[in-house]
Structures are given as C-alpha cells and as structure tokens.
Chain A
C-alpha cells in the first residue's frame, strides 16, 4: 500500500523517541544503572550491552567507563617502592614504535659511563598512533598505556612533545588503571623473584659445598711453590722479546694466522647461529 513505508519509518522514530523520553523522565534513567557518581554533576557511565534507546552520554559531565585495555598515549612507570624509573633506556620501545615517535637519551654517571637510566625520554604524542607496541614489547614493564585522552593544547610544538616528567606516573596509578594486568605482572614478578632466590640459594649452597671440599683438599694437598724473583725476571724478559719480535714482523705470517683465526671464529659463530635457528624452528614447529 502506498505510504506504509512512510508510516513505518515514522513509527520507528516515534518508538525511539518515546522510549528515550519516558526513560529520561524517570528519577534515575536506565542509562545511569551501574554508573559511578563522582560528585553532584559528574558521573562515569557504565553502559550495559543490553541498553536500549538513545545512547547519548552528556560529555563532559558524564563519561564512559573505559575498559582496562583502553590505550591512548604511553606513560612511564615510576616504581615508588624502589624509588626509581623502571625504564632502563634499552631503546626497544623506540625501535618497535611504528611512527618512530620515541626519543631516548641514556644517562651516564660522573665518569661518563652510560648507565641503565634514561636522562631524557620524549614522546611526540602528535605522532603517536596509539598502537601500544611499546607497552607490549617493553621487557621491564616500564612503559604502559595511559587512559587519559584529553590532551588538547594550542600548539603542537613543544606542548605535544611530552618529556620524561610529563610521561612519568607512579606505579599506583598504573595499578589502578590496569588492575588485572598489573596483578598478572606482579604475580609473574613474584614468581621470578622466588625463582631467582631459590637459584641463588642453591648457588650459595653449592659454593659452600665446593669451598668445604676445597679446604679439605687444600689441607691434604701440597701448596704450589711460588716462583722466585729470578725466575719472574727471566719470564718477563722472554715476554718482552716475544712482543718485540711480533712488532718486527708486521704483515708477516702471524697476522695471516690471526685473520684465519678470525675467519674460523666467524664460521663458528655462523654455525652456532644456524644451529640456534634450526632449534627455534623445531620448537616453533611443534
């Protein structure tokens, strides 16, 4: 019949309208069921999957409850217990980052020796694509994904280039955002620690046993006689002569030998790598 399509369409709209309207007139609309009231105006809405009717959330007063795995921008974890960054500046997150938006400068101690701590850590969040690879591949659980998505600023540079201070959060924050994953990681950590402790103890025991055996052996055995001063002098002179001889015949047979040795070592390394690869392949095939 001509016109039924129109009536049907209007009917669906009317149904949606009345459902939402009636729901909104209730003292507590059904979309507030299971929500968290933060204060008088603000609440966090947990939208049940069976929610019917209009699904509008009155942002910014009302917000969605984000799932634990929600990922936005990375954050660095500050281990409050140990009082240090978990980050060791190994650079894996920078290497695995698809848009290459992580820059790390490794810290160094007074003598200039690099240490496992980042001096600078930048993420250009204007470039970050929220893939969470950095969090996935960090071997120290030092970088995780933050849930904070309100990052709007007036300028890209330097506001959207986050430095270490802006990125760092205490571990409690992470534990609150990612409770399940945090618990799983902590359990893993505890297990590892336990394992380490056990191994250490075993080592200690073994060392003690060895020491005991050695002291027992040392008592019965004869101590090695030390070289006399004259003998030492002779040895020194011999070594010096050898060194001089080596210096003298530059490019001689000996360097060729060294090269051959190098090659042999390379071959050995290659063989080992091939073995390892084969092993891995076998393992992965199972």
Chain B
C-alpha cells in the first residue's frame, strides 16, 4: 500500500490500537468521517485481523462483503485514493449486538485479495458476487466463478467503465426526454445480434457447461454395500415449481441421497445495483419494491433508513409509527406466505398455502388503500412516508391486528403444528448447528430457529422498535419443523407490536419535508423547488433492518451528486443460500426441496 492510501490516519490512532496490538500493522488508517467504525486494512494482514476479530472480539457474523470502484469518483473526500477498488466488509457480533466494524481493503486493478472464506465460510457467495461484478480475484476461494452472470459474459458490469446494451448516459435524468425529446424505440437503435461480445478466447459454440463444479465434483464417492452404485449429477430446476422461481440446484446424488449440492442462480439478474447507480436517489425507491416483491414495504424502509443516515434527517413521530405498522404487517404476510409454501414443498399442494395466504389479501387491501398498489407499494420516502393514512384505516387495521389475524394464526397453528406428516418430514431434517449458521452468515428466522436470539430490532434498534414490548422467540432444534414453527411465533410477536403501534399512533405530520397538502407536488422530499433531486453529503452509510427473511442491508456511497455513487443491497435471501448446500447433504432429494423452502427465498432478491 502506498502512502496516499492512508487518508485520515494518526488523529484517532488509539481506537485502532487494540487490533494493532494483536495483529500489528493490520489497521493502517481510520476513516474519520463515518459514523460506524471504519478501518483501512492492509490486504496481507486481512486474514489475521478477521481471525482476531472473530475469536477475540466476538465479531462472529460477516454480514456483508462488497466493493466500490473509485475510478470515477468526483467527490473531494477520497481524492487521495490511488487504488481503484475498495473491498468493504461489515462485521457484526451476534453475542454483543450493536453496530458494525467496517473494514476497507484497497486494491489496485489486477491484484488479489485474500479470501475470507477460510475464516467466515459465509463470504463464499458474496466474494463470488464481487468477483463476478467487479472482477476482483479472491485468493484461496474454493470455488471462484461467476455467480450472477454467466460464464460467457464479457466484462464486469459494476465497474464504472462498463456500459450496458442500450446505454444512453451515465446518470438519469437522460437529456433526450426533457422538453424537446422525441420518442425513440430502443430496439431500433441497436438491432439484435450486434450487441453480443464475449470474453477473449471464449467461443459460445464450443463452450459446454462443466458439471464438475466444486463442491459437486469433490463429493465423496461411496458405494452401498454389495450394490456398487454410481453417483450421478441431477439438475433440480431452473424451471421447476419447487425452486420458487428460476433457480437451479446442482446436486450429486447417490440413489436418493444428496452427496453435494450447489446452488446456481442469476437467471433473474438485472443488475439492480447498476440501475441504482444510474438512478437518482429517489428513483431507487420504487426499484427496491422489486427486490423481495412480497415485502416491498420493508425494502422501502431499509433503503429510506440508509439514505436518511446520509442526509441526517429526522422522521416525524407519526411516520415512524406508520413505518413500523407497515413493516410488521409485511412480516405477517411474509411468514404466513412462507409457511404456506413450506407446506407446498412438502407435497401438500396449494390447499394449505391458500388458507395461509387468505388473510394476506386483507392486509394487501390496506396497503393498496394507503399506497395505491398492493405489492409494489413505493410508500416510504426520505423523511417519512408519502401520504398519510386514509380515514378509518387505523380502525380496519385494528380489526385485523386484534381480531382477524390472531384467529387466522391460531387456525394455522391448530391445523399444521400437530400434523403427523409435517412432524415426520420436518423433525430432524436439514439440521445445521447454530455456530455453522452464523459462520455461513445466515440471519433471520433460520438463525432464531437454531436458538440464537439475534434480531436486529432488539440488538440494534432502528425506527422506534425500542419502544415496543415484544419477545424474540427462539427454538433450539434448527430443523425444518423449527423453521416452520418459528415463523408462526414471530408472526404472533408482530401482532403484539402492531397492537401497540396501532394503539399509540399519534396524529401529526407524516413527512418532515412534505408540503402542507396532499398532492402539492414540489417538495415532498426536501422542500423547495427541485425537491426530487438532492445531493446527500459525501460519505457512506450502511443501514440494516430485520426484514422478514433476515438482515436486509443497504450500503450507499455518495459523492455529493444527485445519483448514488455506489448502491449495494445486502439481500438476506441470497446470503442465506450459503447454507443450502451444507444443510442438504445427507438428506433425500425430496428433503432438499423443503430445506430450500424453509430458507424462504425470493428470486427477485437473490438475483437482483
């Protein structure tokens, strides 16, 4: 590392000292501007530092690994950065709770970073993602190949110099649309067939997808007694109803028993993050709806919190309550949905799923009434929510929270929890110890079903969750049945929060920066003309929420421009898939389907 990289050393050296005692020379600088602790780490000392943090400092959860390409950075704060890439790690502690430790590792182009998979196996998919989208090689990664794009993809799309097909401009709004722009049909501009380029030396005709992927290729071979059988590779998916979308499980099976399983995703990849960097800050809000399309409200919330951190703005009391109410209704939707579809995967086709999501329609009616859309709500804004609740909304919501939803959950519980088939298929299937789950960066209900009371609403409260009285249910079994039952328990806790929030919701303003009346266009966000574009101060922010599926994090970097410089989604569905392979090994193919169902993925969020 050259001298230029240590931008803000010295002044806060004492906070860096502890790690420097244990791992001398690991931390080479402190980012003074950030709210969270952010350290610059020498690449060669990364692994000792991570090991130290995991073993001695209890930072056992590697939450997020991502990267920023600083080659086009226009701001002043990081003018001294000579290395192009900055790999960012967020570490949390499931034992201590509280905020993250953020590690920055600067790497020039064409250099490698040591892979963290040896210390945190959960870095597996995320490092593959960084390799795929940025082209940074992780030394020592057991299976470093593209994960979201395919092997014949030319270039690394999140690099700032990579341009997509139909590229127009670096940032929206595009000039051609303003007064004076005529309609153009894009397909006319770039005829099909001309926009395909392949990596050098790569021929689409001669390429055959290897079936020898690690770890499928390394699966142990063992015959069964006198029957000398051969293990075979089976593709589950991508077009299969049990995979909840377009998702492939590459399995090596011995009879019906799974020897190795490798998740293959990216069929729905649209490079959400690149789109997010082209967009203005506000424009990303409706795009977050499309990540986990079952929980658009919590996606909105996570993104709003991240940008509010950058903007340093307060949210009015009433809006806080509305946000909590929406997020908890969303959680109930997601959990009942998830329960219904675990049943689906068990073979109880459609009927229990329909009963499970019956009440969802009522909640969606409420969402539609306030936001205008059932699923793509686009309801939160920076500094509050877009519109106030409609008259009578709270009463209807109360009817749901006090009367109807408890009844529905009771009915589900009564119907399913004692069912012999669910018990027989669920108990003891898909076991993974709590330590393994944490090491694999798994969060959310899966972790709580393994007895770890890790809920971000409690350990690092956001919004106003610290005001409500609710428990974090845990179950010790860590199997399919526990993962089913924990969701029911959590939905009940959500009801508790809802009941308190609906009781206490105060009157008042719903957006600190909204103009006085409804629909008065200008200034819904920051006030004054041009409220639709604003420039957050330079810096970076990471906000995370306890989304129904796990930890949903948004990492944003601003260079004081109307568009985000970097916009990263730490999606729980994607990272929880780390555990799919280890969980399924040793079980039957039919169990693997349920194990996947109990992870509860949405492909919109996995593939982004």
Interface residues of A (CB under 8 A from B): 2-6, 8-9, 12-13, 16, 47, 49-50, 55, 67-71, 89-92, 94-98, 100, 102-106, 114, 118, 120, 122, 124, 129-133, 135-141, 145, 157, 161, 180-181, 184-185, 187-188, 280, 283-284
Contacts and interface: CB of A to CB of B under 8 A. Distances in A.
A49 B177 contact: no
B522 interface: yes
A69, A106, A139, A161: residue with the most chain B Cβ atoms closer than 10 Å: A69
Given A95-B173, A102-B177, A185-B519, A5 B183 contact: no
Contacts of B415: 8-9, 12
B400 A94 contact: no
A13 B415 CA distance: 11
B396 interface: yes
Contacts of B527: 280, 283-284
A139 B283 CA distance: 18
Interface of B: 172-174, 176-183, 185, 187, 279-280, 282-287, 313, 351-352, 355, 358, 361-362, 365-366, 368-373, 376, 378, 386-387, 390, 396, 399-400, 404, 411, 414-415, 418-422, 512-513, 517-522, 524, 526-528, 531-533
3 closest A-B pairs by CB: A5-B419, A131-B286, A106-B179
Contacts of B287: 98
Contacts of A114: 179
A141 B372 contact: no
Nearest to A70: B372
A141 B521 CA distance: 8
Contacts of A50: 399, 404
A47 to B, nearest CB: 7
A137 B521 contact: yes
Nearest to B424: A5
Contacts of B372: 67, 69-71, 132, 145
A129 B361 contact: no
Contact of A49 (B362, B512, B522): B362
A104 B181 contact: yes
Contacts of A106: 179-180
A50 B361 CA distance: 12
A62 to B, nearest CB: 15
Contacts of B533: 95
Contacts of A284: 313, 512-513, 526-527
A55 B361 contact: yes
Contacts, number: 167
A69 B362 contact: no
B460 to A, nearest CB: 25
A92 B178 CA distance: 8
20 contacts: A4-B418, A12-B355, A49-B366, A49-B399, A49-B400, A67-B390, A68-B390, A69-B369, A70-B368, A95-B533, A97-B177, A100-B177, A103-B182, A104-B177, A136-B386, A137-B522, A138-B521, A185-B517, A185-B520, A284-B526
B43 to A, nearest CB: 38
B369 A141 contact: no
B358 to A, nearest CB: 7
Contacts of A184: 517-519
Contacts of A95: 173, 177-178, 532-533
Nearest to A116: B179
Contacts of B182: 103, 105, 120
A62 B365 CA distance: 17
Contacts of A139: 521-522
A137 B446 CA distance: 42
B355 A94 contact: no
Given A16-B355, A49-B362, A284-B313, 19 more contacts: A3-B420, A5-B422, A8-B418, A12-B415, A67-B372, A70-B373, A95-B532, A95-B533, A97-B173, A104-B178, A136-B521, A137-B531, A141-B519, A157-B185, A161-B185, A184-B517, A187-B517, A188-B520, A280-B528
Contact of A96 (B282, B351, B352, B378): B282
Given A49-B399, A105-B181, A131-B286, A13 B376 contact: no
A32 B183 CA distance: 45
A129 B286 contact: yes
A103 B181 contact: yes
Contact of B174 (A3, A6, A68, A100): A100
A182 to B, nearest CB: 9
Contacts of B421: 5
B84 to A, nearest CB: 29
Contact of B172 (A69, A100, A136, A180): A100
Contact of B532 (A90, A92, A122): A92
Contact of B519 (A6, A90, A181): A181
Nearest to B526: A284
